[in-house]
Structure formats: C-alpha cells, structure tokens
C-alpha cells in the first residue's frame, strides 16, 4: 500500500507539472537584503541574507532569461511568449536596495524593477506604521518607553482588519512616533540615488506615495496618493507606469483601486503568488524573501485564481 501511495503521489506530481504552461512569466518579489540582519530596520518575513540572495539570482541566471518587468509585460501582452521568462522586483524602496541590492545586481548584470513609496524618500517622514512599530518594538528600552498596550494592539490589527473606520482612526497613532526615531536612521533609499541608476538594467514603478492598505482608503485618497507617486517618479527616465499594490493581497485592494488604475493608465501588479499567461488581468508576483526559488518553482500549481477587472 505504501508503494502504491508513493506511485500515485509521483503520478499526481507529473500531471501537475505537465499542466503548468511552458510559456509564462514568473515575477519574483523581494523587499530587503543585507549581509547582516538588523532588527531595527529588517523584518524576518521580508528579508533575505545577501549571500543567499546572490545564490538565488545566480540560479535564475543559469536557468532562465531575466527581463525588466516592463519588457516582460510587453512580450506577455503581445502573445509572443515562447518560453518561461523571469522578472525580479523589489517593493518599498528599502535602504538595502541602495546599499546592497543594486550594487550586486549591477555586478551580475541582472535587470530588476523597484516599486517605490515616495513619501519616505526625504528625511521628513521616516516611514509608515509597519516599519515605525518594528523599530520601537525591536528594542526593549524603546518598546517600554514608547509603545503602550493600545499601540501594540493597534499594530496587530492594522494588517488584517476589514474595517476602514478602524484603520483610518488608528494608523496615525503609530506613525506619530516617527518623530522619536533617531535622525540618522535611514529606512529608505534617497531620491537622488534614483538619478544615477542604469536605465538599461533598472526601472522604477509605483508603490503608492504612502505605503497604506488601499482597500481601507477612500477612492479620492487612492487617486490623489497615486498622482503624488506619479508626479515624483515620472521625472526619472527609468520610470514605468506599473503600480504594485502595497501588501498586494486580495484584501488590500478593491474595485476603487482598479478603477483608479484604469483611469490613470497603470498596469497593476499583485503579490499573491502564481504565474502569468496572456489573458491574466494584472501581474501576479511570487513573494520569495528568504526562500529557495528552486523549491518554490517545484510547488507551482496549475490551477490559479485569476484577477479580472
């Protein structure tokens, strides 16, 4: 019986593999990568060790053609896909992108697209509730001094609440703590850095002016936020009109988000896993921070949710 069970499992795996399209676009999504984990700046769920990250990029180089996302989307939409193509994306504009990721990708001659939150590229605003809370919570003294029990409860709820009233009434209670962050602490890359990026290798796209859950915001807020994002980033010759929705899971966007993107002529990128074929709406991306990509690929499933407008 054990042998039969093993044989059936192998058969199912072969059938599943056979059903996965050969002509597809795989978009891998990262956030942070540094040589050493810094609990003040890094979150273990969106971080990759730099040496490990380099090994994953080399694996992709050895096995796939890697294109900038704007180039890959053009091939996808034209119906010319005759193979599996790969794109690499980074969300947020973390300082590690400036300090470590782009120097490494430049050395390896590997293209990538970076989705940037523009509100945090100057010294005035240090970030949004997620990274601000992490900064204080990672230090026992700061946690005791600045984080109340109410603040801790709010931080735990903001990511998953489906109540816009709760979200809007509470996220700034954490963000006001930004003024107590050490002035020399940089969470995000600097705006000036974008001016010197290699336009053949790298593009930048939209991630919202602020990193908020768009599903919790009014339609007018969403549009104005994206207009601010576009105004700043479109000045650079490496800008591409693609919007990677912050957080990117289905409960983080709504019909208002998609309508605003349509009105503004933006391609939409999610972060909920899966591969892309010609008729998909939007771009599905696979979060792979700290993960072995070869194992991720072995677990690809042929039956995917589609996001249609």
CATH entry, 22-121+188-298, from 3.20.20.370, 3.30.365.10, 3.40.640.10, 3.30.530.20: 3.20.20.370
With a cut of 60, say whether residue 249 has pLDDT above it: yes
Number of CB atoms found within 10 A of residue 281's CB: 12
The partner residues of 276 in beta bridges, in order of sequence, read 25
Q: For the ranges 33-42, 121-130, 141-150, 174-183, which has the lowest average pLDDT?
A: 121-130
- Higher pLDDT, residue 300 or 94: 94
Cα–Cα dist 209/201, whole Å: 24
Please give the DSSP secondary-structure letter assigned to residue 98: I
The band of 301, judged by pLDDT with boundaries at 50, 70 and 90, is confident
C-beta separation of 22 from 84 below 8 A: yes
For residue 280, the model assigns a pLDDT of 72
pTM of the model: 0.92
Per-residue confidence (pLDDT) for residue 308, from 0 to 100: 36
Where does the pLDDT of residue 7 fall: very low under 50, low under 70, confident under 90, or very high at 90 and above?
low
Task: Check residue 11 and give its pLDDT.
Answer: 62
Q: Which of 2, 44, 21, 63 is nearest to 278 (CA)?
A: 21
Tens digit of each residue's pLDDT (9 = 90 or more) over 27-70 = 999 999 999 999 999 999 999 999 999 999 999 999 999 999 99
Helices 129-137 and 164-175 meet at what angle, rounded to 10?
50
Q: Which two tokens stand for residue 212?
A: 């908020």
Domain extents in the chain = 22-121+188-298, 127-186
User: Average pLDDT for residues 231-248, to the nearest whole number?
Assistant: 96
């Amino acid at each position: 019986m054990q042998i039969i069970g093993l044989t059936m499992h192998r058969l199912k795996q072969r059938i599943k593999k056979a059903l996965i399209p050969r002509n597809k676009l795989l978009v891998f999504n990262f956030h942070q990568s540094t040589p050493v984990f810094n609990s003040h700046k890094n979150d273990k769920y969106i971080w990759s060790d730099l040496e490990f990250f380099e090994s994953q990029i080399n694996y992709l180089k050895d096995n796939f053609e890697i294109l900038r996302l704007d180039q890959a989307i053009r091939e996808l939409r034209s119906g010319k896909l005759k193979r599996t193509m790969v794109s690499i994306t980074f969300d947020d504009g973390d300082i590690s992108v400036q300090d470590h990721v782009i120097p490494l990708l430049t050395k390896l001659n590997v293209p990538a697209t970076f989705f940037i939150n523009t509100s945090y590229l100057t010294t005035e605003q240090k970030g949004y509730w997620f990274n601000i809370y992490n900064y204080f919570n990672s230090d026992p003294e700061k946690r005791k001094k600045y984080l109340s029990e109410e603040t801790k409860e709010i931080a735990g709820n903001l990511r998953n609440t489906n109540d816009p009233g709760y979200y809007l009434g509470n996220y700034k209670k954490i963000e006001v703590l930004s003024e107590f962050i050490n002035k020399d602490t940089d969470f995000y890359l600097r705006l000036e850095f974008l001016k010197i990026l290699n336009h053949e290798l790298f593009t930048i796209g939209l991630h919202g002016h602020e990193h908020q859950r768009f599903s919790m915001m009014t339609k007018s807020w969403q549009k104005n936020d994206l207009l601010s994002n576009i105004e700043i980033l479109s000045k650079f010759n490496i800008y591409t009109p693609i919007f990677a929705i912050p957080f990117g899971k289905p409960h983080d966007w709504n019909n208002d988000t998609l309508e605003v993107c349509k009105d503004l002529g933006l391609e939409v990128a999610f972060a909920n896993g899966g591969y892309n074929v010609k008729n998909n709406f939007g771009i599905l991306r696979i979060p792979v921070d700290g993960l072995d990509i070869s194992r991720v690929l072995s677990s690809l499933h042929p039956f995917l949710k589609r996001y249609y407008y």
